[in-house]
Structure 1
């Protein structure tokens, strides 16, 4: 069996694609991925050992204008390139995870009659997947209540190193890996693969307050130059990295995480029971705040608007929380049972079932 998986641009599309691809590969499926030259998939997919086919990107503007007028020509070129890939690979099923590259894949699937599966990563569906859901009954969502035609809630596929993580058992290894003290309250800070200026500046400015409370920090800054922190001799560590490859060990090391609320991040921290302070990205259609709501409503996380996330808020809210083991344990328990850890297997089963109907 052969499957063509389309998705890329950001980790939000690429990570669930790779998690699902791993299950399909274990089932003996020959997986090929479809992406564009602009996204993270150019690096991440080949590193994971999957062949990657590239087609021209087709950005979908949210407002009328010159960019909107260019869409038809760009889309025709992308559909033509995708059709050539499909004719060469002859997949039994096409799977789309949203983003620019999914639109031509959906159109080619419709025109060729190849079974199509759509996976929506966010609580609020994007334009591409709203289109794809019109062409198939095989539609999976990451969050309950997502308003998408034919949507079936299966959860968001996450990497096995995350879904199988025992934070308590791996805590000592995680802290040793990053050079952190074994017994100090530990805050993980991340703004995603590209970093987040607001989060970087606010937490860095609050570094003296964190140090006064004995809190050590592991900060994945994306842009380390935005985090100017001087540690005190003998004081708690403040470790700054551009990017953390072993995010599983970072989750294990942390007592609390400050982060954006992308679907992948929300699902991962909830799955491993890591209490969170979510700072949703203040652009787009508000999907990040919607992603965070189930965890926040269950008591597993806090939600703070981007403009309200300041050094003062870190001092007044984050510092007392990361130093409160009882409250953290309560939040961890509230989050850990919210999201399915086997979404990769559930989505793979949907894909295999769709292919069998060809």
Structure 2
């Protein structure tokens, strides 16, 4: 029997992939360190919880979602009652599984989980992935001192920067060693400069249009393109004559590690997970922040760009002309590309999942003993 035998950990990080992915990565890291620990995911019927969490092999307990209305009105008046019901439901789950710690990542499920844990005297561990902290985690930081963040630029009480928990497929990726097999698998030429274009899991019309519009410039420069357009954004690959650089279009790619291994540079959004993955594997990028959420994505990219690991362009200015003038130049300049690759790698971290998992286990043991 280990010191962790009998421990019960509840993970609260639902709704969006940006919350679920790091939450599940920490759960995986806990399981690798201590297979005997029981892990339960707390979620809601909204968002991607019921799709992504069971696919990772964890039991999912559902509670009512409590989104916080941004404007006065009937929905705001109904919030206290909804919150009480959600806290009661979360507390019932904590009782049923004998929780020793609640690990939260923000989102609709987090506030009820935090308040239920506080009501039961169960310790809380928090991770904030975004440069601009959410309401749920700002509340949690008043209830616990165990607060981890994606970077030093995240402003939250008690925050300790560790990076974002990532999958081993990313953290253990050796791009140089994996490149030949990845390019062969993706039907790319072995030795051409290679651009990866991606707008995230759903794609981005602005990025798709800019990349397709710059296709003649890529062809003229001998740059091949792997373009992951998104399942809701059908894109036709531009025609290529035999012997010219390939332009490969895929609606979706499940094994992003292959895309990262194949690529020399990326054109992409700057969500927190994207920034964390690219810097972890040392892949420079032209970041195109989503022009919503108060500029949150721009804040994610700015430290990487300041370190020399990428370029930054606004959504409105991401045109075919900008891509042709800026991205092609980087790909054709080996010394500049090498310097940006080193800078991107220096801006990232690969060990956040294990670091946080060890902290969670320590807190849980303290409560369990």
Structure 1 position 105 matched with structure 2 position 125: no
Q: Secondary structure at the match of 1:33?
A: strand
Asked whether the 8 Å contact 2:282–2:348 carries over to 1, the reply is no
| Worse overlay, 271-280 or 32-41 | 32-41
- Contact residue 3 and residue 93 of structure 1 kept, 8 A: yes
CA contact (8 A) 2:66 2:86 kept: yes
Partner of 2:343: 334
Q: More displaced, 15-24 or 207-216?
A: 207-216
| Residue matched to 1:185 | 193
Q: Which residue of 2 aligns with 1:165?
A: 173
Q: Secondary structure at the match of 2:294?
A: coil
- Deviation of 1:257 (Å): 0.6
SS in structure 1 of the partner of residue 127 of structure 2:
strand
Equivalent of 1:311 in 316, 320, 326: 320
- The 1-side partners of 2:102 and 2:130 are apart by 20
CA distance in 2, matches of 1:94, 1:88: 14
Corresponding position: 1:128 with 2:136:
yes
Deviation at 1:88, TM superposition (A): 1.2
Distance 1:225 1:95 in 2: 35
2:145 counterpart (137, 141, 144): 137
- Please name the residue that 1:346 is paired with: 355
Aligned length in residues: 358
Q: Is the counterpart of residue 208 in structure 1 residue 216 in structure 2?
A: yes
User: Which residue number corresponds to residue 71 of structure 1?
Assistant: 79
Partners of 1:75 and 1:197 in 2: CA distance: 37
Give unpaired runs (5+ residues) of structure 2: 1-6
Secondary structure at 1:86 match in 2: helix
Matched, 1:281 2:287: no
Does residue 17 of the first structure (1) align with residue 26 of the second (2)?
no
State TM-score, norm by structure 1. Answer: 0.96
CA RMSD of aligned residues (A): 1.5
Question: Would the aligned equivalents of 2:202 and 2:232 in 1 still touch at CA under 8 Å?
Answer: no
In structure 2, C-alpha distance between the alignment counterparts of 1:216 and 1:40, rounded to whole Å: 33
CA deviations on 1:87-109 (whole Å, 9 max, x unpaired) are 21111100001111111101101
Task: Please name the residue that 1:3 is paired with.
Answer: 9
- Among 34, 45, 53, the residue aligned to 2:53: 45
Shift of 1:66: 4.1
- Distance in 2, matches of 1:66 and 1:218, equals 48
Paired residues of 2:214 and 2:323 also in contact (CA < 8 A) = yes
Aligned equivalent of 2:238, options 222, 225, 230: 230
TM-score (norm 2): 0.93
1:224 Cα offset (Å): 5.7
Task: Mark the runs of 5 or more structure 1 residues left unpaired by the alignment.
Answer: none
Q: Bigger CA drift: 34-43 or 283-292?
A: 34-43
State the distance in 1 between where 2:233 and 2:362 align. Answer: 49
Query: 1:264 is matched with which residue?
Result: 273
The CA deviation at 1:134 is: 0.9
Offset at residue 226 of structure 1 (A)? 4.4
Residue 229 of structure 2, aligned match among 221, 243, 252: 221
Within a 5 Å distance, the mapping from 1:31-42 to structure 2 comes to 31-42=39-50
Measured after TM superposition, the shift of residue 272 of structure 1 is 0.7
SS at match of 1:31: strand
Q: Which of 217, 234, 252 is the equivalent residue of 1:243?
A: 252
Secondary structure in structure 1 of the residue aligned to 2:195: strand
Q: Which residue of 1 aligns with 2:3?
A: none
Task: Please name the residue that 1:320 is paired with.
Answer: 329
Change (3 A) 1:10 1:295: same
Q: 1:167 and 1:39, CA in 2 relative to 1: closer, same or farther beyond 3 A?
A: same
Q: How far apart in 2 are the matches of 1:70 and 1:233?
A: 61
Q: How far 1:3 sits from its partner (Å)?
A: 0.2
